[in-house]
Structure 1
Amino acid sequence: MHCVNVLVVVLKLLLRKIERLKKSLSIKGYLFKRLVIRILGKPRIKGKLYLIYLKKNTLLHMYDECGCDVYGLNKENLLPLCHKFRK
């Protein structure tokens, strides 16, 4: 019984250390991202961006951060997108 109690205490301590490590890495990652943005600026694409989905014969034209035109060869591939993203 004593061994079980010791094991429980050790597991709890390990879990606490893992949680502290996760928080520390999260903060470091956030700070690194902010530093990169401050030095290089926000990531952006200059020019036109077209994505081609060959399996579904679909072309996406992303014209700004909020908008995207979708073109396709057949209606069946476009309908799910229309239903999902209709405003």
Structure 2
Amino acid sequence: MAKEIKIYTRLPMLRSERGISRKEMADILGIHYQTIGYVERGEYMPSLDIALKAAAYFELPVETLFSLTPFPSLTADMLKG
């Protein structure tokens, strides 16, 4: 059996910073609003199309939004330096 891949995302943080609801993000990406929730909770692996559209919307590299490993805590990063 193939190992399940988990995708980590900063999408909730970026949406929150910009005051964008799940529904608004879904409309921007052209997907159902529930899909945003699934992606944010790691229950659904976003297609390349969704990942690239989200990255383009936030004007960030796709690897800033999505990763195969957990993102380091921003709080921990701030305490270091």
Whether TM-score is above 0.5 comes out as no
* Bigger radius of gyration: 1
TM-score, normalising length: structure 2: 0.21
Could you tell me the TM-score, scaled by structure 1's length? 0.20
Q: Which has the higher strand share?
A: 1
Higher-helix-fraction structure: 1
